[in-house]
Structure 1
């Protein structure tokens, strides 16, 4: 039975959102390739809307954990930069509780979009919970 999608990343508010939904798991042919998660970025603003399919590897989830730790410590992050999947950048606004979220699809549509969303302290607990839920729902073997 297929699992319901899980929003690994959910940045939203003020009418804008950037969400990464994990929709399933793809089994690769062993022994050379690790299983991957199939995901979909969903961007929704009053100005632009779109979706973008992506694949998430075990190392990407570990990097998201480190990115969350850096964000929680007040640092800007770049997630999956330099990889063949879309790159996600989150820049914190020091003057208020907002961030600039940039999604860069450098390989398929060659499109970059930046969205401003609120980022409250309570967001972090939810983000860690979402990551744990993805690991439990779709376990992946180590790379």
Structure 2
């Protein structure tokens, strides 16, 4: 495990935030099972606050890279949709520098939360840096 958790995803501003914090790697017992990263979605607004544990597979990180590329190109994204893990949707606003971030937990709590946060161009450089840091910190998980 890393000494400090790493925020793979950090969307925040105007009093709202959505974070996916990676705490470390969990080794799987079976020889055919790949290790996973242990994470937690953290949502914080003046109205609602919550946390949701999740596991990040190596394929999830590759798909997050693709999702970042799509967002950077101006397209909405759905990350991990159709999987047993919590889903993340980011819908870009057409008229300003904000987006709607939705976390959907369809498996455990059956809860969906949508938060509006700013999304400025500088966010993308930071998001790619965070992804690189996760890959560098836990290279055997990818």
| Contact 2:57/2:141 (<8 A) preserved | no
Q: Which stretches of structure 1, 4 residues or longer, exceed 6 Å deviation after superposition? A: none
Q: Deviations over 1:65-122 (max 9, x none)?
A: 0000000000000000011110000000010000000000000100000000000000
Taking the aligned partners of 2:131 and 2:46, their CA distance within structure 1 comes to: 28
Taking the aligned partners of 1:35 and 1:116, their CA distance within structure 2 comes to: 33
* Matched residue, 1:35: 35
Report how many residues are paired: 142
Structure 1 stretches lacking a partner, 5+ long:
none
Taking the aligned partners of 1:19 and 1:130, their CA distance within structure 2 comes to: 12
What do you get for the CA RMSD once the two structures are aligned?
1.1
* Matched residue, 1:90: 90
* Matched residue, 1:9: 9
Q: Return the TM-score normalized by structure 1.
A: 0.96
| Contact 1:76/1:92 (<8 A) preserved | yes
Structure 2 stretches lacking a partner, 5+ long:
none
Residue correspondence of structure 1 range 121-136 to structure 2 within 5 A: 121-136=121-136
User: Residue 140 of structure 1 aligns to a residue in which SS?
Assistant: helix
| Contact 2:25/2:141 (<8 A) preserved | no
